[in-house]
Amino acid sequence: MLIDTYGRVATDLRVSLTDRCNLRCTYCMPEEGLQWLAKPDLLTDDEIVRLIGIAVRDLGIEEVRFTGGEPLLRPGLPGIIERVAGLTPRPRMSLTTNGIGLQRTAAALRDAGLDRVNVSLDTLRPEVFQALTRRKRHDDVLHGLEAARAAGLTPVKVNTVLMPGLNDDEAPDLLAWAIAHDYELRFIEQMPLDAQHGWKRDGMITAGDILTSLRTRFTLTPESEDARGSAPAERWIVDGGPHRVGVIASVTRPFCRACDRTRLTADGQVRTCLFATEETDLRTALRSEAPDEEIARLWKVAMWGKKAGSGLDDPSFLQPERPMSAIGG
């Protein structure tokens, strides 16, 4: 198993399939994009499946989340999912996407074995979407969400980041819309993910701000701690149920003590945390024909050194230099 010195056991693997993205969200990357990884540096489909197999068979991983960049840009994605679905034991599989390609791919991903999706959508207003993402693709995301629901990739979770002066007034409208369409809405505090280091702690919309806004229209009843488990989102029952809304307060109420994640970057590095500054290279071991046992050992050593927390709750937190698009959310 993947255990650290604080007794936490990682059972959830986040796999970044690419650092590329077809949006340019203001809180993620500059308008001109980033210096993408060279193709030889990226893990091949076979290498990804082999590493996931080691994680599932030998290290106790029970859930795999495919991320990016934008994972739907990975040409071999359905094949990767199908092969991972054939592992014993079979892990639960989900995917975090911006939703732009879902209308075209949702049914194929379901048929390959994907269980569900998380879709990022920050606004109901097309003009605000364009301001946030620098692209006119709002309708594509809405159609992608509908296709995911129709394909049975449920529960369809919608991830929303509120930004001051842009969409900070939309929380109640977004929740009403999510309820009407049977999506599970989760608000995420803005984190320092931008390569241009424009994040300001003082200007972010906090979990407290979000809940205050939602309570102007809805009655929220907190879910029990037992129901939350190791999930990052605190959840509230909306107007007595059955619908729920979540808030991931990564900055103001970090959930590091219950973290059960390990991360594999698009170029084959193990990260113990989204904001870790150290990595452990598995790609070199793979390409040096190391046996599975040696790769598993390297992974265990990496996780044993996991720190107590992300550091986001420290006002002096420094953003990592490595672009987050290659690490995955």
27 marked among binding-site residues: yes
230 marked among binding-site residues: no
One-letter amino acid identity for 159?
A: N
25 marked among binding-site residues: yes
96 marked among binding-site residues: yes
3-state SS class at 58: helix
259 marked among binding-site residues: yes
Under 8 Å CB-to-CB from 316, ≥6 apart: which residues? Answer: none
Helix (H) or strand (E) holding 82: helix 77-85
39 marked among binding-site residues: no
204 marked among binding-site residues: no
257 marked among binding-site residues: no
287 marked among binding-site residues: no
| Distance of alpha carbon 134 from alpha carbon 122, whole angstroms | 13
5 marked among binding-site residues: no
300 marked among binding-site residues: no
Question: In angstroms, what is the C-alpha Rg of the chain?
Answer: 19
Helix spans in 101-202 (H) = 102-112, 126-133, 138-151, 171-181
Q: Which of 177, 215, 328, 163 is nearest to 262 (CA)?
A: 328
| Distance of alpha carbon 137 from alpha carbon 129, whole angstroms | 8
67 marked among binding-site residues: no
221 marked among binding-site residues: no
Q: Which residues are annotated as a binding site for GTP?
A: 14, 65, 96, 157, 261-263
Q: Which residues are annotated as a binding site for [4Fe-4S] cluster?
A: 21, 25, 28, 256, 259, 273
Q: Which residues are annotated as a binding site?
A: 14, 21, 25, 27-28, 65, 69, 96, 120, 157, 191, 256, 259, 261-263, 273
Q: Which residues are annotated as a binding site for S-adenosyl-L-methionine?
A: 27, 69, 120, 191
